[in-house]
Structure formats: C-alpha cells, structure tokens
Amino acid sequence: MPLDIDRFAHVMSPLQRWDPRVKLASLGVLVICISLVKTVPVGVMALMSALVLVALASLPSSFILQGVKWVLVFLLPFLLIMPLSYPGEPAFHMLGLPFAWEGFRLAVLIVIKALAIVLCAYAMFGSSRFDISMIALQHLKCPKIIVQMLLFTYRYVFVFLAEMQRMDVAMRARGFVKRADRRTMQVMGDFVGTLLVRSFERTERIYKAMLSKGYQGEFHTMVVFKADGKDMVKAVLVISGAVLLLGMDLAGMFKIAEQGWY
C-alpha cells in the first residue's frame, strides 16, 4: 500500500499547476455532490468525470489501482448481501434467497459512487505535495492545530513504519511465526507496547529538538499561494459540473430510464 500519496506531485499537469487552495475547495464541492447522488446513470457520469480528473493529473494507473483495489475488496460484501436482503417483493429466488433488483441497483450505485470519490481524492491529494496540501487546508479555515498535528503525524508515520519493519525482521529472525493462537496475540500486544515505549522516548527528544529550534506552537512556511484567472476558470468548470450532476439527479432526469432498466 503506498503511503506517499504525493509521489507524483512533481509531474506537470493542469491539476498540479492548479492553486492547491482552489483545487481542494472545488474538488471538495464535487465530492459532496457525488456523495449525494441517488441514481445510477448520474453516478456513472460522476465516475467518468472523476476518471477524466485523474487522467488530467497524469497519475500512473498502477499507482491508482493499488488504492482502488482495497475499496473494491471492502465493497464486495455489499454487492453480495444487498440484493439478497432488500425488503419488499423479490424478483426471483437465487439459491433459495430472495433476489431484489432494487437491492442490486443500490449496491451498484454504492460501488460506483465510492470509486468516483476515491478517484477524486487521488486527484485532490495526489497532485500536490502533502505539506502544501495541508497548508492549503489551513488557508481554507481548517483548524490550525489539526493541520499542524497532521503534518507531524505524517512525518513520523514513515519513521515508525521503518522501525516496525526492523522489529518484525528481528522477531522473525528469532524464529517467531504468526499463528492463529493466544500466544501470537500476546506477542503482538508486547510488540505494540514496545513500539509505544520506544516512540514515547522519541517524542521527548523530538520536542526538545523543536524547542531548541525556536518552536512556539506555530509552523512557519515559505509557501506562497497565488490564484490567477486560469485557476478560477478551472474552479468554475469543476463546480458547475458538480452542481449539474446533482441537479440532474435531483430533477430525476434518469428516473424513467432507470425504471425501465429492470
């Protein structure tokens, strides 16, 4: 699983060049609109718009697929359970269970919307450096303390990931094999405890190092944002697209087409 979402932030594309503040705000509106869609055809259109956005960000498909794969694994139970458990008149019986098209439609809609939103998230955060995205969030009135903590946590995730992998190698070198038993759970508990003890000592050193560099509870940044006409044009395009999607959905433009579908 890739932890460095901003691995391809250096690639030049219309999304990378877009002012991060305007980009996050506009795509945020799009995400909200997509999450409110209730019909499959509009969902499909949203998914296609999201695909266009990711293509514009020129992120490699292998990179995106790694994340999308997990979303699909998580949503698989919905595709299986929803059609067979929908209340009301079933269309037919499958393996003795009532199969309802409405449940199936709902499950398909859920999968499509989830994919569209995940792709939007890649377009949002995959096209700027992580720290710049966070500072942009702060400009968008995200509480300062949350932004600062996010930057910290992100910084140390990689440190502790490496630490955990070292400990894991050491444990396996001594012959430890994970099994489905109580002992494994006991060892994993001790493992997590050790990780915490080591990091707790580290927090102290980190804090002292920061104090000595003049930390007073504020982060200073040299990032300067500048939004020009082009940025605004992109914002207007995305937001009007988002509103159009939601409008079509609310107006029920595809209700009839969808009812004829099953």
Partner 1 sequence: MHISDGILSGPVLAVGFVGTAIIAGLTLRKMDIEEIPKVSVITAVFFVASLIHVPIGPSSVHLILNGLVGVVLGWRAFPAVLLGIILQAILFGHGGVSVIGVNTLMMGGGALAGYGLWQLRHFVSMGRKEVIFGALAGGGAVLVSGLILSLALVTTGEQFNVMAGAVLLAHIPIIIVEAFVVGAAAGFLARVRPQILAGGNTTPLADRTPA
Q: List binders of partner 1 among 213-232 (CB under 8 A).
A: 215-217
- Kindly state whether residue 172 participates in binding partner 1, applying the rule CB under 8 A: no
- Kindly state whether residue 243 participates in binding partner 1, applying the rule CB under 8 A: no
DSSP notation for the chain: ----GGGGTTS-SHHHHS-HHHHHHHHHHHHHHHHH--SHHHHHHHHHHHHHHHHHTT--HHHHHHHHHHHHHHHHHHHHHHHHH-SS--SEEETTEEE-HHHHHHHHHHHHHHHHHHHHHHHHHSSS-HHHHHHHHHHTT--HHHHHHHHHHHHHHHHHHHHHHHHHHHHHHTT----SSHHHHHHHHHHHHHHHHHHHHHHHHHHHHHHHTT-SS-----------HHHHHHHHHHHHHHHHHHHHHHHTTTHHHHHTT-
- Kindly state whether residue 62 participates in binding partner 1, applying the rule CB under 8 A: no
Output the smallest distance, CB 85 to partner 1, in A.
3
- Kindly state whether residue 189 participates in binding partner 1, applying the rule CB under 8 A: yes
- Kindly state whether residue 245 participates in binding partner 1, applying the rule CB under 8 A: no
Site for partner 1 in 9-38 (CB under 8 A): 28, 31-32, 34-36
- Kindly state whether residue 146 participates in binding partner 1, applying the rule CB under 8 A: yes
Cβ proximity to partner 1: between 34 and 238 the closer is 34
Output the smallest distance, CB 236 to partner 1, in A.
21
- Kindly state whether residue 251 participates in binding partner 1, applying the rule CB under 8 A: no
